[in-house]
Structure 1
Amino acid sequence: MPRTTSENHNHPHPGSATTKSTKKVTIKNGSGIPTIEERLGYLRPSRELLEFYRRKIAQYDNERDDILQKFDRCKVAYEEKHKLEWELRKRESEIVELQKAISDLQIYLFQEREQVLRLYAENDRLKIQELQDRKKINRLLNLCGVTEEEITYFIKEPPGVGIVPQKILPVVVNEQRSSSSHKKDLVEQKSSNISSQIRDNETLSLQIEALQAQLEEQTKLAKEQIESLLEDRRVRIEEYDVQRKRDEERLKQAQEKIVQMQNLLHESTKDVIESKFDLRNAEKQWLHEKDQLLQELDKTAAHEQRKEDEILFLNTSNHIQNTSSAASILLQENAYFEEERKKYEDEIHALEQQHIQTHKLAEMYRNQVLALEEQLCKIREEGDVTREIYKVSYFFCIYRI
Structure 2
Amino acid sequence: MYVVESKGGAIACMLLALSFLGTWPAVLTLLERRGRLPQHTYLDYSITNLLVAVLIAFTFGQIGSSTPESPNFLTQLSQDNWPCVLFAMAGGIALSLGNLATQYAWAFVGLSVTEVITSSITVVIGTTLNYFLDDRINRADILFPGVGCFLVAVCLGSAVHSSNAADNKLKLDSLPREQKDGEMASSVIPNKDLSKDMENGNGSAEKAKAGTADFLVQLENRRAIKVFGKGKFIGLAITFFAGFCFSLFTPAFNLASNDQWHTMKKGVPHLVVYTAFFYFSASCFVIAIILNITFLYRPVLGLPKTSFKDYLNDWNGRGWALLAGVLCGFGNGLQFMGGQAAGYAAADSVQALPLVSTFWGILLFGEYRKSSRRTYVLLISMLFMFIAAVAILMASSGHRK
Q: Which has the larger radius of gyration?
A: 1
Which protein has greater RCO, CA pairs closer than 8 Å, 6+ apart? 2
More helix, by proportion: 1
TM-score computed with the length of structure 2 as normaliser: 0.20
Question: TM-score, with normalisation over the residues of structure 1?
Answer: 0.20
